[in-house]
């Protein structure tokens, strides 16, 4: 059903906005190998070169993605802004190369804050072999950080699209999840403020402020597996699972109890009265990779170990024949309900 022109973006949400503008965007064809619908676009290699180009862009807005006050860690903010784009390239199994940074700058921002922001942007870019090559600035009532990043992918290598899930594949998740949401709560929720001084919460704050994109892992998996579907965890595990299911028209059967979570998250959830699985499933800005492949756990482990990847991967479920849907299984194999607490863009609320 088409989106009505008089509908409000807060009513239709992020997916509705994308549906509304879809007719103006390339779905692929010619040199465009991957258009709208994945973590990044991919274009064919320029004649005479051996690399396909990965293109992505991401935006952080004051008040929605970060707070601007005397306690703002500007270097960490720069690193996080760059990492969110790097993670999109990693989800396409590419390697980051060149970044353009455009900023909306409030008049009362100090030059010192700006320099710290750029120090973080440049530091994170260098970690992954990327360079800052330009951008734009304009005056703005709130701080806006927008990055456009290109990456490279070897010519002929299959792109790990969201639509490549097939029945019989396993579903894996790198690293661990939940820490970014906990870190955000520690920074913004008065009820969690008393925990901020505890040494064990440092890793929670670190994940939220300086997430680590899985570039090595994404590149290695893409090179070794020819049936790979992949996505990065920007909104939440639950949201990204639904995107995979919809794009591939398959049923994903997931065991929330298998989700990789740290002892710190289990402790945090116990103290706050949260269900661990629900909390972890709805945690955003984790920038881990979720992927489907027929490869067994042993092969996935070997690929990541050989690549000296920063994190391993955990098997959390399987792909079955459609229709597109998610099914949750408890430790006994019985179906269960998982509440979706993912933050919904445009409405500013968690999803029901």
pLDDT at 27: 59
Give pLDDT, residue 337: 84
Per-residue pLDDT of the chain (352 residues; tens, 9 = 90+): 667 777 776 666 656 665 665 655 555 555 566 555 555 666 666 665 667 788 898 999 998 888 888 888 999 999 999 999 999 999 999 999 888 888 888 989 889 999 999 899 999 999 999 988 888 888 899 999 999 999 888 888 888 999 999 999 999 999 999 999 999 999 989 999 899 989 999 999 999 999 999 999 999 999 999 999 999 999 999 999 999 999 999 999 999 999 999 999 999 999 999 999 999 999 999 999 999 999 999 999 999 999 999 999 999 999 999 899 999 998 888 888 887 777 654 444 543 3
Name the region of 29 (left: φ>0; alpha: ψ -120 to 50; beta: rest): left
In Å, what is the CA distance from 349 to each residue of 122, 235, 263, 339?
33, 13, 28, 14
Fold of 162-350: Phosphoribosyl-aminoimidazole Synthetase; Chain A, domain 2 (3.90.650)
Report the distance separating Cα 128 and Cα 77, nearest Å.
17
Q: pLDDT at position 6, please?
A: 72
The Cα–Cα gap between 166 and 244 comes to 10
Indicate the DSSP class of residue 250: E
Per-residue pLDDT at 267: 97
Helix axes 74-91, 111-127, angle to 10 degrees: 30
Whats the size of the chain, residue-wise?
352
What burial letters (b/e) apply to 99-113, b meaning 16+ CB within 10 Å?
bebbbbbeeebeeeb
What pLDDT does residue 43 have?
62
In the CATH scheme, what is the homologous superfamily, with its name and number, of domain 31-154? PurM-like, N-terminal domain (3.30.1330.10)
Strand partners, 105: 139
Tokens linked to 228: 């790979």
Closest by CA position to 34, among listed 318, 246, 247: 247
Give the whole-angstrom CA distance, residue 322 versus residue 227. 18
Q: What is the pLDDT of residue 44?
A: 63
The pLDDT assigned to 261 comes to: 97
Q: Give the integer Cα–Cα distance in Å for 323 and 185.
A: 36
- Which pLDDT value is given to residue 19? 66
Give me the helices (H) in 128-214, please. 179-188, 202-209
Omega cis (within 30) before 42: no
Which residues face 103 on adjacent strands?
Answer: 137, 145
Query: Structure tokens of 65?
Result: 């993605």
Residue 132, token pair as written in the block: 């800052």
126 C-beta neighbours (distance < 10 Å), count? 12
Q: What pLDDT is recorded for position 186?
A: 95
Q: For residues 211 and 38, give the distance between their C-alpha atoms in angstroms, rounded to a whole number.
A: 21
pLDDT of 63 = 87
CA distance 50 to 227: 22
Place of tokens 């942007």: 121
Sign of CA dihedral 133, 138, 139, 142: negative
pLDDT of amino acid 33: 60
Tell me the CA distances in angstroms from 343 to 181, 224, 240, 285, 348, one per residue in order.
Answer: 10, 34, 13, 10, 7
pTM for this entry:
0.85
Q: Is 13 exposed, middle or buried (0-12, 13-18, 19+ CB in 10 A)?
A: middle
* Tokens of residue 295, six digits: 């490869």
- The separation between the first and the last C-alpha atoms of the chain, rounded to the nearest angstrom, is 22
Beta strand segments in 259-299, E: 289-293
Of 69, 64, 272, 282, residue with least CA distance to 186: 272
- Where do you find CATH 3.30.1330.10 in the chain? 31-154
Q: Which residues of the chain are in CATH 3.90.650.10 domains?
A: 162-350
């Amino acid at each position: 059903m088409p989106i009505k022109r008089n509908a409000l973006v807060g009513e239709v949400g992020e997916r509705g906005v994308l549906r509304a503008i879809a007719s103006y965007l390339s779905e692929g064809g010619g040199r465009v190998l991957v258009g709208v619908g994945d973590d990044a676009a991919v274009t064919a290699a320029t004649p005479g070169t051996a690399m396909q180009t990965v293109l992505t862009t991401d935006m952080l807005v004051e008040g929605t993605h970060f707070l601007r006050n005397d306690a703002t860690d500007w270097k960490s903010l720069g690193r996080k802004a760059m990492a969110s784009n790097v993670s999109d390239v990693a989800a396409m199994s590419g390697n980051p190369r060149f970044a353009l940074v455009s900023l909306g700058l409030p008049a009362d921002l100090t030059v010192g804050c700006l320099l710290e922001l750029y120090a973080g942007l440049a530091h994170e870019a260098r970690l992954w072999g990327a360079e800052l090559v330009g951008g734009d600035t304009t005056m703005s009532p709130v701080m806006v950080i927008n990055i456009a990043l290109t990456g490279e992918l070897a010519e002929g290598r299959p792109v790990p699209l969201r639509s490549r899930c097939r029945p019989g594949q396993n579903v894996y998740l790198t690293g661990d999840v939940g820490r970014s949401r906990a870190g955000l709560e520690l920074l913004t929720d008065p009820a969690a403020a008393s925990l901020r001084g505890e040494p064990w919460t440092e890793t929670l704050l670190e994940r939220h402020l300086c997430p680590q994109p899985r570039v090595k892992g994404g590149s290695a998996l893409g090179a070794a597996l020819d049936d790979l579907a992949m996505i990065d965890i920007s909104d939440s595990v639950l949201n990204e699972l639904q995107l995979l299911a919809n794009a591939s028209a398959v049923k994903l059967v997931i065991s929330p109890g298998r989700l990789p979570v740290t002892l710190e998250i289990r402790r945090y959830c116990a103290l706050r009265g949260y269900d661990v699985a629900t909390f972890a499933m709805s945690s955003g800005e984790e920038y881990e990779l979720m992927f489907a492949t027929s490869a067994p756990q042993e092969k996935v482990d070997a690929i990541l170990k050989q690549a000296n990847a920063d994190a391993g991967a955990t098997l959390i479920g399987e792909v079955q024949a459609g229709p597109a849907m998610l099914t949750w299984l408890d430790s006994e194999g019985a179906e269960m309900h998982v509440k979706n607490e993912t933050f919904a863009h445009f409405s500013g609320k968690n999803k029901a």
